[in-house]
Each structure stands twice: as structure tokens, then as C-alpha cells.
Structure 1
Amino acid sequence: MKLISHNFEKDTSGSVTLKAEDKEDLFTLYNLIQKRDEIRLKTFRNIKKEGKSKADKKLLTLTVSVEDMDFIPEDENMRIKGKTTTPTEDVPVDSYHSFEIDYQYPFTLKKDSWDAVSVEVLQTACNTDNKAEMGAVVLQEGVAHICLITQNMTMLKTKIEKPIPKKKRGDSKDHDKSLDKFITLTAETVIRDLNLDNLKAVVLASPGFLARNLYDKIFQIATSQNDKVLHSHKAKFVVTHSSTGYLQGLEEVLKNEEVQKKLSDTKFAKDVLILDEFFKRLNDDDCTAWYGPQECKKAVEMGAVKNLLITDSLFRSDDISKRQQYIELSDLVRSTGGDVNVFSSLHESGKQVDQVTGVAVILKYPVPDLDEEEEEEQ
């Protein structure tokens, strides 16, 4: 995200001028922009002049109060609908207008209050070090998924599918030839689609030896092309096993101890470990893992929370009081020495937290019966 200018302080009204640069920025804006915020931007609108039967499309600068938003990652599309708040020559005040945030024009976002979460989201987005964290390729015979994993989402860059004939008894030539073409195509696509300069690691995972074959092919190509830059990134590659070549294999791979050591400084990998620890404690039933708004609130107020696990969807709530409740909960955890782990709803780990109410805690020590009052009421 490019920060052009800003004029605000925490917990006060103010504005910031931004320019989205990629899909990750659009998702950040989806988390940042809320209903009743104002956006001022250049946008096209059909204007019908008196005496003309056909409307003309005109580029205008409008200020719109946000009423609805929609984000579709696959389409790189952040669509917003609202009412204009200031009149122009062509558009009166309180006119409905729909527009898309794109990569072409900067825009100004004004809020009545920049709360702690909004400020943190903005600061993180404008720090270029927080972009893509790692690349990943999960594959099996005939199918490969080349992904980019950021702190907010797993993006499928390319899916490769190629039919591989089965081995015949005593003759595997056709199979081996097709498999080699598939591995070569995947290797060439990895080299083309993943910018290794910006990645901390690249995980290659598959059942069997395909991931190792892909690794060998990538650096065979690097040698044949005398690509010294690609060779300089060799240490970033991690080859490991997965039970499937489909995207669900990523979660399994990131729990691997060897992979975790390599990826120890990436947010996504840390989230997977914390979530794994939460479910392990929950299954052990040792009273150090709880989920649910009331249970978590009690634990936080006791100062017993080691980790608060919360999804970004709760910070996007249209209910301002609900959003503020979780902001205050997060602040209280930090003030008592705990960590707040915000999970992206576009990662599989975030979806798992959403399935357990969107908020959970790992405690510093066992606390039994946090749900006792709820059970008595039932």
C-alpha cells in the first residue's frame, strides 16, 4: 500500500490518502474501510444531459459515505456502494454511487475515529516488509498448485493440470516422458511466477518424490541458463512431504517441524503453530484452552490469557459496539502481558478459528469452569 499523506491521530477523526498496489492491499482495505466512512476519489459515472437520449461516461471526483462493501479475491475487485455527501455540478448530494477501488487512482479515506485496530492495519499495510511471506507448490502426478502466502491470504497463482498415462507392465516410457514434461512445465512456471527476491521461503510438497524431482529440475534449469540469481536463492527452498497435491496439503505441511524451523519468522507459520497448540490443549481438556465471547472475556479480565486468537472478521463487524468490544479486549490482553494473534479469514487457519466462534484463548495456567454460568442458565 502506498501512503501518500495522512492527517489523523489515534482515537480522533482524520483522513489518509492511499493507493492500492496489489490484491493484498485490496483485502487490507476491506478490513480497514467501514460503513459511514467517507471516501473521496476519482470515479466514472454515467451523466445524462438534458436533451440527450444517451448518457455520457464522465470521470468525476466524488465524496461518498460508505454503505456497503464487497471483496472478491479471485477477481481482484473491491466494490463499494454509498451516497454522495457533497454536491457537484453533475451529481447532487445523497445520490447513490457504486465504484471500485483499483490500482490506478489514489483515494482519500476519512474516519470519525481511527481506533487502535485501524491504525495497526494501516501501519502494517504500508510497511513493504509485510508483503508476500512465502511461496508454496503442492503437487502430485498431473496436478500442481503454485501459491503465494501472505499474512492475510493464500493466493493461488497458477494451477497446472496435465494428463499422465499409467505405467504399463514392462513399459513405462510414456508415463515417464509425460511426467518429466509435467515437472519441467511446473519448474518453469515456478521460476516465472514467484519473485524469489520478495519471499522468505518456498515450500515444495508432494506425496512421494515429486517435490524433490521438482527441486532438482528448478536448479537444473538454473544451471543450464547460468542463472546466478536463482542459484543465490537456493537456501530458501524447503522440500517436504504432503499426503495430497491439493491446497489442503498446505496446512499439513506447515505443521512439519523441519518446515517450521525454516519458516519461523513468517506470520502465517506462527499462526498455524498457535492454532495447533490451542486445539491440542482443547483436546487434552486441561482447562488452559477456551473459546466463546463470554469465556474469553472472563479469562482476559482475570489476566490469565497467554494468547488471544481472534479473526479479522470480528473487527469488520457492522455493529460498532461489538467491534469496540473486541478492540478493548485485545488492548487488555496486551496490557496484561499476553499476545494477540489476529487470524485472516482468507487463510484456512482463520476459517478454523471462525468455526469456534471467532475468538479463543490459550491460558497461562488452568482455569476450570469458565463456562459454568452459561451452563447454569441453560
Structure 2
Amino acid sequence: IFKEHWSSYALKRINQAIEASKKLSAIIVVLEDDVADFGLMRQFGIEYYGPVMGNVSGKRIIDKNRAKNIEKFYQSIVDYILKFDNIQTIILAGPGFFKTDFLKYLELQHKDLAKKSIVEATGSGGRVGINEVLKKGTVEKLAAENRVAFEIAAINEILQEIAKSSNLVVYGKKQVKEAINLGAIEKLLVLDNLIRSEDLEDSMDMVENMSGEVLVISSQHEGGKQLEGLGGMAATLRYSIN
């Protein structure tokens, strides 16, 4: 397909996709006894790293240094995770109790990482365990849930402004397009199926060229249905146009 002119909106989405492919979307950490393996999920696929080895004896009574060795092992896992930028989600997996114990360690010592972590049970450790997580679709589900939550939060912001009878919100095609032409848009929300049915790229380009933000909202969740009830388009404004 040959296209003579790509709109700035389309080009921006292409560039965003390229940048996203470089970013780490999730780290899968599979723990089994005193071995940790890592699977780095990026847009283009999985990269395997590790293992990180601990020196944790299974003999709880005999080995007086066991607790210290476990803490040292857990900290070495944290150090390994922190080598990577743009960590969005940490999936802790593996058989047995090590994954939940490691989460407890994070909650005490590294609360910022604990907030990004979830636990997923697998029957195996190592790369086999990483592949179990991938087959369950956990990463894709998390990405979808995060996007939906982000979109619903944007819709709620609009609804709150409407509830306050604010002069800094508009909705419906006519009112929103008037605000776009006046350069008053701070954040524009557009329903995805509206883009497919109408030529809105010029309007979206105009908003972004004036340093406004454009969010395309999925019609497949409750927030999208609420936006549809507002005419498929809504926006917050930099200043009142009434």
C-alpha cells in the first residue's frame, strides 16, 4: 500500500510503536529453591537472562546462616532486576513458596518494586517456568488491564468536570470541534470506532500541533460506552470558551 502523505497523527503513532518496542514491558522472575531465572518481555519477544544463584541450605535447623543467605540471595535478585530500565511489571513465578517469600521481602525492603509485582504459580522453574507464564497470557492480560484502567481514569476526569458544571469541559462532536478550531483543547478523548467512521485525523493533528493531548478510547469497555453516550468525543479545556 502506497500512501503519499502520512498525517502527523499517524506518524506519531508509528514512532510510539517503535519506541515501545525498545521498552521493557515486564520482567518474569522464576524462583526455584536458590535459583532465579529471568525472562524480559519486550514488544518484539522474550529475552532470557540468568540464572542468579543463591547459597541457601534446605536444612533450616543446622544452617544458622540460612536467613542471612536467603536475604543475600533476594537482594542479588533485586540488583539484577534494577539493571534494566523501564520496568513496568514484575511477575514472580515458580513452584513452592520462594516466590511469595520474595514478594514479602520486597514489601519490607523495596516497596516500589513490590507495588509492580504479582505472583503467578507455575509447576516448573527455569525457562520452562517462564514459558508457562507466557502460555497463560499473563503479560498480555496485564497490559490490557493497565490500558483499560488508564482510559477509564481519563473518562472519569471528564465526568467529574461535567458533574461540577465546569466551563473547562466540552463533549459532543459539534462542541468539541468548535473548541479544537479555537485551539482550546488540553486533552481530547475520541472513541475508536468514531475514528474509523469519520475523518478525524486533521482535527486530532490540530490538537497535537497546539500541544494538546489526544487519547483514543476503546469502545469495548464501560468507559468507552460512557464516552459513546457523550457523543463519542469529549475534551478538557485550557480555558473557558463560553
TM-score by length of 1: 0.33
Higher-helix-fraction structure: 2
Higher-strand-fraction structure: 1
- Higher Cα radius of gyration: 1
- Which of 1 and 2 has higher RCO (CA within 8 Å, sep 6+)? 2
TM-score by length of 2: 0.48
